[in-house]
Chain A
Amino acid sequence: MKGNEAIAEAAIRANCKHFFGYPITPQTEISAYMAKRMPRIGGVFLQAESEVAAINMVYGAAGAGVRVMTSSSSPGISLKAEGISYIAGADLPCVIVNIVRGGPGLGGIQPAQSDYFQAVKGAGHGDYKMIVLAPSSVQEVVDCTFDAFDLADKYRVPVMILGDGMLGQMMEPVVFPEKSPKCEQKDWATCGTKNKRKPNIINSLYIEPQDLERLIIARQQRYNAIAEKEVRFEKENIEDADIVLVAYGTTARIVKAAYEKARKNGIKAGIIRPITLWPFPEKIIAETAQRAKAIVCVEMSMGQMVEDVRLATGGACPVGFYGRAGGMVPEPEAIYDVIRRYV
């Protein structure tokens, strides 16, 4: 199954019956799949007039208490940024997919990782966070999609699945989990009072500074709980490693080839692959920095995640960087050369 189609099918199986989108390359298979499947299962697929409208439809549906998703690619996510900020400010759960392409501007349509800052540091205005999941295989795309809906509902936050054009187009065998989706009771949702309760209000406006600060602090406490409980990463041979490579998504697969070559040639290399980009696996990187001779970060960008890696190390070891951009993909040989430079 294609990565993009796997996201769509996994979302449907996770009980997402509402999808609002707008066409953009390279995520179109998600919309196409939803357009075909949703009417057959009594769900809603709606192609909005813009990315801005699509994310606001997500806001409305999430506020009405259903599992809802939208997907886009980089320039489209910039347009959705306003809505994402409102969703975060109204504490609404939803899933947003970004199949990243090269930027800035129209950029290109080939895979890139240049939206890390946008995803992790907040694209829209205000003090807010999104949980950001970065799968690196089509199977992990499926698993992350299931988890994304559960996490969104559990913490009432927007969750982003950050892929890239390569992951979206890649075909791999997948197994869909047999678990039935969790269904949180959403007694805060607007679905009509039925004259039985006080009105529910979905809102992000708090004109009194004391009220707004109180809410922001409460939300921050929820973010702290997420940072404590939901960090995910994969590691390989970092215990004895001199050089530890850090990479996420499809780049991590390429890095693995360079790592294997290094090991074969007697270089003690290891890998840390963050799966959650926020919350960032800073603890394991901090620990690793105490032992390793160097950490090397590889990205399909001019260096974005590397800033979080540097922060996590606290300067305990040198941090190297290798990146390609604009849709160019790093080659294992080039990564291997960077590893050798730090031995």
Chain B
Amino acid sequence: MAVVFKRTEGLTDAPFHYCPGCTHGIVHRLIAEALEELDVLGDAIGVAPVGCAVFAYNYFNCDMQQAAHGRAPAVATGIKRARPQSIVFTYQGDGDLAAIGTGEIVHAAARRENITVIFINNATYGMTGGQLAPTSLVGQITQTSPYGRKVELQGYPIRVSEMLATLEGAAFIKRCSVDSIKNINDAKASIKKAFRYQMDEMGFSMVEILSTCPTNWGLSPVESMEWLRENMIPHYPLGVFKDIEKGGGV
């Protein structure tokens, strides 16, 4: 019988620990399929963050390193400089990448570090129980902004893709979402493209993926997808912010 669908070789058999309705699982699979389809699983070295994806090293079927909170781009730099032929990626959440690790991500992009970053933006700190993140929306209620994010107190959310796209070292920056089949397919194509840029040594590539956190948002999985569409996408528009193949720019 012809095989029409099979589990990707890019994932191990370990069951995910993620909450029901969380989009980490979808994104893991997209990355794994991309690595497998590009035939680079055997060359891939991933860097797991601190946050909900801290156990990512158990799920990807390739060599993995676990990094301290925010430091994944620096760890990835060390790996890539030691093993330039490898395909090196980091998997980071918004607290990891846009708060404690802001310095590391900005300079990895500025250095034209030839790595790929998968940035999960769910506007909250998931693992520690839903605190205010640098990407939490104005008015968003979290454990540490119980009266909603107020600009006078906590300022404004950071649009990371737009910010990094201003750097000359960035080759490909795109924001995607996994709230629909269409967007999931687009996210996978974008991840593949980001890896291809790394394979062609074109510089820093990042795919930001708008994600849900039903547990900490206090919504059902379906309501979470709706909240993402109604609140996150208007503030974090989907699309390409940098692509040096098309001459750069948004």
Contacts and interface: CB of A to CB of B under 8 A. Distances in A.
A56 B74 CA distance: 6
B68 A86 contact: yes
Nearest to B75: A60
Contact of B63 (A66, A193, A205): A193
17 contacts: A44-B82, A49-B106, A53-B71, A53-B74, A54-B74, A56-B67, A60-B47, A60-B67, A60-B77, A60-B78, A61-B81, A64-B45, A64-B86, A90-B66, A194-B42, A196-B42, A202-B66
A294 to B, nearest CB: 46
A193 B63 CA distance: 6
A107 interface: no
For the complex of A and B, 5 pairs with smallest distance between CB atoms: A60-B78, A56-B74, A190-B63, A57-B78, A61-B78
B66 A192 contact: no
Contact of B62 (A20, A83, A192): A192
Interface in B47-101: 47, 54-55, 57-58, 60-68, 71, 74-83, 85-86
B82 A193 contact: no
User: How many A residues are at the interface, by size bracket?
Assistant: 35 or more
A193 B107 CA distance: 29
Contact of B81 (A18, A195, A203, A205): A18
Given A190-B45, A192-B44, A193-B41, A60 B65 contact: yes
B68 A192 contact: no
Interface in A184-215: 190-196, 199-205
Contacts of B64: 190, 199-203
A199 B22 CA distance: 26
A206 B82 CA distance: 26
Contacts of B63: 190-193, 199-201
A68 interface: yes
Contacts of B47: 60
Interface in A75-93: 82-83, 86, 90
B243 interface: no
Contacts of A24: none
Nearest to A205: B66
Given A49-B103, A196-B42, A83 B71 contact: yes
B74 A190 contact: no
A49 B107 contact: yes
A152 interface: no
A90 B75 CA distance: 13
Nearest to A192: B43
Contacts of A190: 45, 63-65, 79
Nearest to A203: B66
A248 interface: no
Given A63-B65, A63-B78, A195-B42, 13 more contacts: A18-B82, A52-B74, A57-B78, A60-B47, A60-B77, A60-B79, A60-B82, A64-B45, A64-B83, A68-B82, A193-B62, A202-B65, A205-B55
Nearest to B41: A195
Contacts of A220: none
Interface string A58-76: 1111111110100000000
Contacts of A202: 64-66
B74 A192 contact: no
B179 interface: no
Contacts of B162: none
A118 interface: no
B104 interface: yes
A302 interface: no
Contacts of B82: 18, 44, 60-61, 64-66, 68
Contact of B75 (A59, A201, A205): A59
A68 B74 CA distance: 14
Contacts of B66: 90, 201-205
Contacts of A52: 71, 74, 103-104
Tell me which of B43, B57, B77, B80 has the highest count of chain A C-beta atoms within 10 A of its own C-beta.
B77
Contacts of A86: 67-68
A338 interface: no
A316 interface: no
B152 to A, nearest CB: 30
A50 interface: yes
A201 B65 contact: yes
B86 A56 contact: no
A46 interface: yes
Contacts of A82: 68
Nearest to B40: A192
Contacts of A54: 74
A57 B71 CA distance: 9
Contacts of A48: 74, 107
A186 to B, nearest CB: 11
